Amino acid sequence: EVQLVESGGGSVQAGGSLRLSCAASGYTGSWMCMGWFRQTPGKEREGVVGFHSSLGSTTYADSVKGRFTISVDNAKNTVYLQMNSLKPEDTGMYYCAALVPAYNTRRCVTWTDYNYWGQGTQVTVSS
């Protein structure tokens, strides 16, 4: 069992930055994916970034490459999503997710593969 709690969402103007945090508890060992996803009303959940804890692979959505960065603080069992140069189209509910075990995936970007989810945190970017 993995518990995930996100924080750090808010409202910013275009061009601004936010850092989301995801505190994990329960199983936080190897062979797991950690990912950030986002969703807006009427749209399917979209993968933002996925990270494989054992393979060390990180996959970003094309729409956020060069602007968003995922990082992990193993001592705090916390995953961060640094979001810079935010655009109005980045607006949405952002979810942290974990896939345990992650033996059959490398890219960790398919939201239907994930089995643990946080409650979400809202990000609103105004123009």
Per-residue pLDDT of 67-93, as tens digits, reads 999 999 989 999 999 999 999 999 999
Strands of the 18-26 sheet, one edge to the other: 2-7, 18-26, 78-83, 68-73
121: helix, strand or coil: strand
Residue 4 has pLDDT above 90, yes or no: yes
Where b means 16+ CB within 10 Å and e means fewer, 105-119 reads bebbbebebbebbbe
Over residues 52-81, mean pLDDT: 94
Regarding beta strands 46-52 and 33-39, do their DSSP bridges make them parallel or antiparallel, or are they unpaired? antiparallel
Among 61, 99, 81, which Cα is nearest to 17's? 81
Q: How confident is the model at residue 106 (pLDDT cuts 50, 70, 90)?
A: confident
Residue 94: its pLDDT value, please?
Answer: 98
Lowest model confidence (mean pLDDT) among 3-12, 29-38, 80-89, 92-101 = 29-38
